Amino acid sequence: MLKRFYPGAYLDSAYEIDYEALYREGYRGIIFDIDNTLVPHGAKADERAKKLFLRLAETGFSCCLLSNNKEARVKSFRDDVKTEYIHDAHKPSVKNYLKAMERMGTDKSNTVFVGDQIFTDVYGANRANIRTFLVKPIHPKEEIQIVLKRYLEKIVLAFYKRDLKRGKNHENSNR
């Protein structure tokens, strides 16, 4: 039952993913969460984020920001990184993951998702059958509802790590 919440990979940062290797594997689209995935909650796009999106565009990726946040927040970040975006996404609903792929001209076979929350980001992407990367939150300051979910995430991650150690496959079934 918990496997529906397991990420395809769990990493320290969105900035340590080998995006060029993903491109060589045939991936062409990346859907990103923003807050605590790319920058601290509510922060503007920093130089590291701007450089990442420039590098991804030069590599040949299409990208889309998918956030449950209000449009002003998401659009402001998008303006700095020059990519597609969807605000008020209602993650983990699958609808806007599909819309993001449509906007990028990709599909579930060549799209990955990068986010910091299990019950919204990863669960929604898993439901859409997209390969997932869960990253550790950039900053500990978060809204109270997220702080509470982090306690439950620790339980899921404990089982994920146990299964990973035992060699059990936790990737999406289509990978």
What does pTM read for this prediction? 0.89
Q: Please check the confidence at residue 138 and state whether its pLDDT lies above 70.
A: yes
Alpha carbon distances (Å) from 129 to 11, 107, 112? 20, 10, 9
- According to CATH, the topology of domain 2-165 is Rossmann fold (3.40.50)
Q: How confident is the model at residue 111 (pLDDT cuts 50, 70, 90)?
A: very high
| Amino acid identity, position 147 | V
Which neighbouring-strand residues pair with 31?
64, 113
Alpha-carbon gap, residue 98 to 100, rounded angstroms: 5
pLDDT tens-digit series, residues 20-58: 999 999 999 999 999 999 999 889 999 999 999 999 999
Q: Please check the confidence at residue 170 and state whether its pLDDT lies above 60.
A: no
Tokens of 37: 């995935």
Token pair 């995935």 in the structure block, residue: 37
Q: Please check the confidence at residue 174 and state whether its pLDDT lies above 50.
A: no
- Identify which of 88, 115, 94 has the alpha carbon closest to the alpha carbon of residue 31: 115
Alpha helices in the chain (DSSP H): 19-24, 47-59, 71-81, 95-104, 123-127, 144-165
List the chain domain ranges.
Answer: 2-165
